Amino acid sequence: MNLKQLDRRFLAREEAEDLEVVRSQGSFVFDARGKKYIDFLSGWCVGNFGWGNERARRVIARSKAPDYVYPYYLYRPWVELAQLLAEITPGKLRKCYRATGGSEAVDMALQLATIATGRKKFLAIEGSYHGNSIATIRVAQSSGRKVKPPLDESAAARVETILQKRDVAAFIMEPISCNLGVLIPEREFITRVSALCRRYGTLFIADEVACGFGRTGALFASEHFDLEPDILCMAKAITGGAAPMGATIVTPDVADAVDGEGGFYSTYGWHPLSVDVAIDNIRWIVKNQRRLLRGVSEMSDYIRDRLSEMKFKPPAKLRIKGMAIGVETGDEDYVDKITERCRKNGLLLTSSDNTLTMFPPLTLERETADDALDILERSLKSR
* Coil vs helix vs strand at 3: helix
116-167-173-100 Cα dihedral, nearest 10 degrees: 40
Contacts of residue 37, defined as CB under 8 A and 6 or more positions apart, other chains included, come to 19, 28, 29, 30, 31, 343, 346, 347, 348
User: What are the helix (H) ranges across 218-271?
Assistant: 252-258
* Residue ranges in 303-362 that form contacts with ligand PLP under rule CB under 6 A: none
Shortest Cβ 128–ligand PLP spacing (Å): 8
Give the interface segment with ligand PLP, choosing from 100-108, 119-127, 212-220, 372-380 (CB under 6 A). Answer: 100-108
Q: Which of 245, 344, 343 shows the shortest CA–CA distance to 358?
A: 343
Nearer to ligand PLP, 131 or 272 (CB): 131
* Residue ranges in 162-221 that form contacts with ligand PLP under rule CB under 6 A: 174, 178-179, 207, 209-210
Enter the DSSP assignment of 26: B
- Indicate whether 268 belongs to the interface with ligand PLP (CB under 6 A): no
Nearer to ligand PLP, 17 or 370 (CB): 17
Residue 38: phi and psi, rounded to 5, are: -85, 130
Q: How far apart are CA 326 and CA 357, in angstroms?
A: 5
Shortest Cβ 125–ligand PLP spacing (Å): 11
- Indicate whether 110 belongs to the interface with ligand PLP (CB under 6 A): no
Shortest Cβ 232–ligand PLP spacing (Å): 12
Give the pairing of strands 168-173 and 121-125.
parallel
Using CB under 6 A, count the residues that bind ligand PLP: 16
The binder of ligand PLP chosen from 131, 181, 229, 326 (CB under 6 A): 131
Residue nearest to ligand PLP (CB): 102
In the complex, the residues that contact ligand PLP under the rule CB under 6 A are 44, 101-103, 106, 129-132, 174, 178-179, 207, 209-210, 235
